[in-house]
Every structure is written in C-alpha cells, then in structure tokens.
Chain A
Amino acid sequence: MPIEFFAKVSVFCFLASYLVALGLDAARLLKRLPVARWVGLVFGLAGFAAQTGYLLIRGRQENLPPLLSSPHDWLLVLAWIVVLLYLFLTVVDRELAVGLFLLPIVLLFVGASYLVSKQPNPLIAGNLGLVKLHASLLVLGIAGVVVGVMLSLMYVVQHRRLKQHHASQPGVLLPSLARLARWNWWAVVVSVPVLTLGLGSGVALGLTSQKAGAVLSFSDPIVLGHGIVWVAMMSLFVWLLATRRSTGKQVAALTLWAGGFLLAILLGLQVLSLTTFHSGAKTSWWEKHCKVPSAKCKVQSDNADATQCSSLCTLHFALCTLYLPSSCFASLEARA
C-alpha cells in the first residue's frame, strides 16, 4: 500500500478508532460479547495502521524521524508504542482486559497531541545523533512507566475484586496479583534506568548545545519537570530495590503515584509550556488560553532573556494547573 494512501489521515481518524475499541471493550463489562472482542481488535488495528501512516507522512514532510519532528509527533510515537503493546497483549490473550487500561492512556496522549506544537525544533539539527538517543530513551522510559501505571491499576482492580469476593467476569480477566506485582516491579526497575539515561543524554545535549552557543537552559520547564519526575521515579526505584518486604499493593500504589505524577507533568508541560527548547513553538495552547500571565511573560521576554521567563512560566503552569480543575469543580458545585 503506497504511503500516499495515508496522506488524508488526520489525528481524529485514529483517535476515533481507539475510542470505538475502548467502547467495545467497556461493553464487555456489561455483557459477554465475543464478537465485541474481535470488532474492537479490528478497530484497534485500523487505528494503529492509520497512526503509523500518519507518523510516516509527518516524518517525510518534516524530513525528520517522527520521534524528533515535534512534540506533537513525539506524543504520537509514545501513543503508538502503547497501542502496539495493547495489540500484542490482546492477540496473545484474548481474555485479558488490557484495552480498558491501556486505551485511555492512548487517548490521553493522542488527545494531548492536538494541543502541542507541530513545528519542528530548529536546534536539533546540529546534534541529531544525541537528540535521537535522548528522545528514544525518554520515550522508552516513559512507555515503561506507562506500562507500570497500567499494571498497577490492574493490580488495584484485581486486589479489590479479590478482597470484596466479586466473581471474575468471563471475557474480562486480569492476571494474578503475583504476576502483576512481578511485572510491575520489572517495569519500574527497567524504565527508571532508561529514563535516567534519557535525562543524562539530555544533560549532555544541553551542555554541547550551550557550547555551540544555542539558547538552552536547564531551567526550561520541561527539563525541570522531567528532573522532578526523575527524582520521584528514582526514589521508587531505590525503595523497590532496598525494601525486601514490600507488598504488591504498596508497589502498585507508589507506582501509580509516581507514574501518574510523571504523566501529569509530562502532558501538562507539553501542553501548557511556553516557547522552550523542547516545545519549539512560537505560541502554545498555554499562551492562547492564559492571556494575562502570558502577556507578562511576553513583557518579560522583551526585557530579560528567555530563561527567566521560562522559570516564571513554570510557576504560572503550577498555578494554572491548580486553578483550572478548581474552577471546574466550582462550576459543577454551582450547577448542583
């Protein structure tokens, strides 16, 4: 099939496919529908094919691998890896309820890709090898954390079922607690070193870029965010290796917290951050929607360098992250 076939594929195409696949998986909670499994798989495969084609087209347009084209493509590559895992597990064990856990994360990544910049970063051209390594390691590390989060969620659901004596639903099965705990342990233990290497390569990239005279700061919100996440994940990693008598539920809870934190920071920073080395965008969703602080940043950026502005906007991001949900709750309460 020629790649041009995918030229008209939009993000919405595969987003809708994954949404239907998730809906069909969710329908099996209500009623055992063997056909839903197969139809869901077909939608998943269709979405995967469309996404693959879309990423290849994007890579060709930007003349860069999809992983490096833009934050938009980077998020889609991350989603693509998770979809691949979903399809593999679904084909291997048709009874496993992986779609219910993995597809929402896929939808989150694909949905978030709408909100981030599609423009390629002009600064990566000089260090393509190191940038490739940095982006690949980070994406693999984050995919590992996503798997850990999924396994932890499965653990919590399975644990709750067993504790509350609920019978398992045929066609929507979960692995045993022992297996989930073991896989979760490995997911964290493998992904954290990969993340560490990813951050390490990022530091090396930053240093080489600064030497080359590029405007790059370690106070970039994404760099800072990833650093904080890394500390959280590394704490979990050390705790896992040091604690001999940790229970599966403790590991699952900590992975959920640390992994959830990582996803929130990752998506939050990608979506909300200003013009940074990582976003490569002139205007972001953040700038479009949070006018006053953005304006302040704009003023600052006229007077000071971009580094200072980025730090301010990191604080702004934190405030807005707190503000947006609280305003939603307030409006819901008002409606009630």
Chain B
Amino acid sequence: MNLQVVYCNHQSANLSIRERLAFAGDKLEAAYRELADRFRSAEFVVLSTCNRVEVYSAQESPDASPTRKQIAEFVSDFHRVPLEEFSDELLAETGPDAVRHLFRVASSLDSMVLGEPQIVNQVKEAYRVAQDHNACGPLTHAMFQGAIRVSARVRSETRLAEGRISMASVAVSDFGRGIFDRFDNKRVLILGAGEMAEETLRYLCEEGVRQITVVNRSLENAEKLAAQFAAVGARSRSWDALDEELARADMIVSTTGATEPVVDVNRFRAARRRSGEKPVFILDLGAPRDFAPAIADLDDNVFLYDIDALEVTCEQNRKSRYREIEKAQVIVDEEAERFMQDVYHMATGPIVKRLREQWHDVSRDELERLRSKLSHLSPADLEVVERGIERIVNKLLHPPLEALRHEAKQGTPHGLIDALKRLFHV
C-alpha cells in the first residue's frame, strides 16, 4: 500500500511557477485522462488552488505506484514546462507524512491565511471532481473523507478560524487601510463570481463597502452573486462593461479562474486615462494572475498586490496565533495516526476475512457430520454443541488475529500476513 503527494505550494514555489503548473478550468479533465492513461491502477486526486498544486496518489501494491519522478514528468509534459524549471520546488511526501500533509492542508494549517475557510471547500471540490472522473479508490476515499472530518474537528476545537482568516481581510487590513481611511464611499469592482469572490464580498461588506459591482464572463453567475449582496447595493454587469468599471473603481478584487491575465497593461492604461491618477487598490487573488504585474508601475497611485505580495503579512498573522496552531497540530497528528492504523488494519482485512471463513467452513462441515451421526440429540442439545464449536473456533482464531491487529499499528504487517497465508493455506 502506498500513499503519496507530490506538490508545490506558496512556501516552496513562487506564483510565477505555480500559475504555470495550475490545473485551472478544463485542464483538470484532461489531466485525469492523462493520469489514467499513464498509471492505470493508481488512485488520484488533483488539488489545484491559487496557493498550491498537489497530486495525491494511492495504490494497494507498492511496486506499481507512481514515483515522485513519474508524477513530476507528468506535470512537466502536461503543462509543457521543462522539469528543470520547477523540479527543486516540487516536494513529495509518502505514507503517514502524505496523510498528515493532506490533513494540515484541509485544516488550513498550511494555508497562507491561517484558518481560512475556503481551503476545505477546495479540498471537497477536488475530491468530488476526482470521483466524477473515476480517479478515486478506497484509499483516496478514506483519506479525503478523513481530511474533511479533521478539518471540522480543528475548526470546532480550536480558535483557528477566528480573526483575519481570508486573503481579502489580510490584504485590506494591512494594505487597503494604508491607502484609504474609509471604504463606505469607495467603488469596489469584483472580477469573478466564485467562492473566493463571495468570501471577499462578505468581508468587504463587514468593512462597510456599499458600492459593489460584480463583473464576470458568465453574467448569470455575476447576477447570482450580486443578488446575495443586494442589501448592500451590489450589482452585476456584463464582461463588456469591464473597461468602464476599471476606470470607475477605487478598489478591484480579482478572483477569476482565467489561464491568462484578463487585464493587460494597455487595457489598464486606457482605464487610467479615463479615471485620472486617483488611488486604486488592486487585489489580484487569481492564479494564474488576472492583472499583468507591470500594471503596478503605471503610476504612483496604482497599488497592485498579488498572492505572493501578501506572504509576509500572512506570516505575521500566523505568528500571532501560534498557540492555536499547536492545538490544531496535535489534532492533525492524532487523526493521522488513527487513520494510518485504520489503513493498515484495512490491509489485514482480506486475510482476516478469509481465515475466519475458512475456519468457520470447517466447523460447519464438522457440525453437519455430527448432526447426521447423532440424530438422537434434541435441537436444544445440538444448539449447545454448535455454540461450543463456535467458541472453540473463535478462541483459536483470537491469538493470530490479535497479533495481526497489534502488528498493523506499526504498518502493514506483510510478514505476518505471508506467514498466515502459508500456515493456514488461505
């Protein structure tokens, strides 16, 4: 049995690498097809967010499982990015460490913004998509269901999810408040209508923002999102109105899933000509980025922040809550250990089942023989005999099964399983 994760995240690779390796939009479907072609018997889940690109794999037989190198080659071939450009940034964990990593990710312990709620939904979505593409198996099912359960436990048993827990909250409190002293008179433009856009809008409303425009390629989705915030005057506009809205906005939050920048330098320069040099705060939460980085240099009053620009601020936020991190880490370690025991125990399941069946088959055969030979016994007597034999079988089975269970706590007991197979011909 082999569990593995090959990944790069905001700690190991900068955004320029991550955005090239991201499995955004339609790419995910093609990725699962490619993975299925290359590694037929393995289970996969691909988790691709703005802060991480992670490929989880699992395989019953350790010999046939894909290696780190093979996964790295797949990523390189799929994105047509030479391996040497990101090989050093690509990390891997196996076995219990892979499980612990997933549990940390789902609990947002590995997130840039500690305690942020989006990540567990992103994990759930990745798991759902993997299921849709028939890429999951018993091990990945167990892993991801476990991760979702651990995330809920961390959320309820620690105060990790309190305070500044979204990219938008961190960026607005540290940078937005450095530019503007109030938000209720600012025009806010939201590009994209996904979960992050919704989360950002919720935070901005708490900050007092009252002039919100949602622009999205799908007007229907923009309307849906704007409708949720109609009470604070949110409205939606079609993608065609983007240039006009860029010129009007004081604050722009971009969260689209576009694979190329949606606003390049020329487009934004034209918007600045119309708006004048008023201060504009741009928060680009897209990966790949939605705003060309050179836009930041257009004039003194353009303040552009992408995800990597928030790294130091997020680290300060993280340090201020180190006690909660410790508590959450204890939960993650405890759950990862329990999960691994269950997995190892699961590996002994088939041998235990077959051993039980074999011995009970033998006892049933002997009982039948006794019934035919001792026909004078009443049904009550027969039942007593039957129970006696069953107890003997269970007592005989107990020592090997207990040894198996004990061994399974340390890892898959391959030696013991082989011994049982040979001793009892199962």
Contact = CB atoms under 8 A, between A and B. Distances in A.
B180 interface: yes
B300 interface: yes
Nearest to A163: B303
A182 to B, nearest CB: 8
B178 interface: yes
B312 interface: yes
A167 B174 contact: yes
A247 B279 CA distance: 9
B181 A162 contact: no
17 contacts: A162-B175, A162-B178, A163-B296, A175-B181, A176-B177, A176-B179, A176-B181, A177-B178, A177-B179, A177-B279, A178-B180, A178-B279, A245-B276, A245-B277, A247-B301, A248-B279, A249-B301
Contact of A168 (B174, B181, B303): B174
Contact of B178 (A161, A170, A247, A248): A161
A174 interface: yes
Nearest to A244: B276
B181 A178 contact: yes
B305 interface: yes
A256 to B, nearest CB: 15
Interface string A257-291: 00000000000000000000000000000000000
Contacts of A178: 179-181, 279
Given A162-B303, A247-B300, A249-B300, A167 B178 contact: no
Interface in B275-290: 276-277, 279
A167 B312 contact: yes
B67 interface: no
A159 B300 contact: yes
Contact of B179 (A162, A166, A170, A247): A162
Nearest to B281: A162
Nearest to B299: A247
Contacts of B12: none
Given A165-B175, A167-B313, A176-B177, 8 more contacts: A162-B179, A163-B296, A163-B300, A165-B305, A165-B310, A167-B312, A176-B180, A177-B180
Q: Which 6 residue pairs across A and B have the least CB separation, nearest first? A: A165-B309, A167-B313, A176-B181, A167-B312, A179-B181, A249-B300
B316 interface: yes
A167 B316 contact: yes
A158 interface: yes
A104 to B, nearest CB: 23
Nearest to A177: B179
Interface string B163-198: 000000000001101111100000000000000000
B316 A170 contact: yes
B84 to A, nearest CB: 29
A245 B305 CA distance: 25
A144 B301 CA distance: 26
Interface string A6-19: 00000000000000
Nearest to A249: B300
Given A167-B312, A170-B316, A158 B178 contact: yes
B176 to A, nearest CB: 9
Contacts of A166: 312
B309 A168 contact: no
Nearest to A170: B316
A151 to B, nearest CB: 14
